[in-house]
Amino acid sequence: MHRRDILAAMASLGLTNVIGSRIAQAADEPAIPTIAGPDLNTIPPTFRAPAGSVDTHTHIFGPAAVYPFSPKRPYSPPDAPLEMFRKLHEAIGVERAVIVNATVHGFDNRVVTDAIAQSGGKYRGVANVNNSMSDADLLALDKAGIRACRFAFLKRLGGVGDMKVFRTLVDRVAAIGWHVDIYLEAGTVREFVQILKALPVTYVIDHMGTISAAKGLDDPEFKALLDLQASDDKCWMKITGLERASAGAAPFHDSVPFAKQLIDNAPDRVLWGTDWPHPNVKIMPNDGTLVDLIPLYAPDPAVQRKLLVTNPEKLFKFAPVT
């Protein structure tokens, strides 16, 4: 039934204008977009990840019946629960993971902390936090295996927000030994350089700074990213989102030179992740294909071990693999 039909029916029943205006307002609200789920037919990768490898950027969605999505979420994903998450890592040969709480779950971090509790020490987490959380709340998250919080400076995920609140939260989480995870809008690296350098804590830039492979290695944004990474020891980089950076289709080889330069630039401060189940991508990747990119941008086995094992152990405080 169209909105006008609803309102006409209510008028015939003599219902108040207030109720009618509320229905009109609800009808005018934009629908929450639904996004695609991951490719569940994982291609077995040819590359074999070293023992103790960590997927440092991955998500769990729901099940919504147990872990409800936020009513203010920017998109609605299909469920991608813990069981599916485990199958993915078994298929690609990765033993440990860092679960990044996505905006769909708002500030409810239970989907992450419950998974960590069932992992036998194999999972850590990145939480969503706000200033209404007490110090006791943050310490409880730390005890539950959270090692960082995330700030997404993307218009589609809510925009930049109040930078004073951002800095207050950074100071609070720094006091308990966390780092911060930064997700930048494409084309904004240079705007954030001084803000990031001034932070009192280690920060990790998601998805290689959301660079665009189509703009080439001489793109000023990419050069600014390399300079930031080289000049600030607090700056770490996630080698994730090659499918997001790519100008073409799988296997996303046009993104490989960018990943390689970032790794060569600071091999002790780089991390790897799948970004499963790949929310809001233009081209849905197969995770086996993404794993097989690793030896292309990190051909040296010693660097592969840093990227996949020892760097994440250090940053997320995993027990070292013996």
| Helices marked H in 13-107 | 17-28, 82-92
- What's the pLDDT band for 162 if we cut at 50, 70, 90? confident
Q: Please report, in angstroms and rounded to a whole number, the separation of the first and last CA atoms in the chain.
A: 64
Q: Please give the pLDDT value at position 158.
A: 55
Average pLDDT, the chain: 91
Is residue 315 within 8 A of residue 236, CB to CB? The reply is: yes
Q: Please give the pLDDT value at position 202.
A: 98
**Where exactly are the structural domains of the chain?**
1-30, 43-316
Q: Which of 235, 248, 249, 245 is nearest to 297 (CA)?
A: 245
Give me the mean pLDDT over the 213-220 stretch: 98
pLDDT digits (tens, 9 = 90+) for 111-149: 999 999 999 999 999 999 999 999 999 999 999 999 999
pLDDT digits (tens, 9 = 90+) for 169-200: 999 999 999 999 999 999 999 999 999 999 99
Q: Is the pTM above the cut of 0.85? A: yes
43-316 maps to CATH 3.30.70.3040: no
From CA 204, how far away is CA 91, in angstroms rounded?
27
Q: Which residues are catalytic?
A: 275
CA distances from 286 to 24, 111, 250, 251, 307 (A): 43, 24, 8, 9, 20
From CA 128, how far away is CA 101, in angstroms rounded?
6
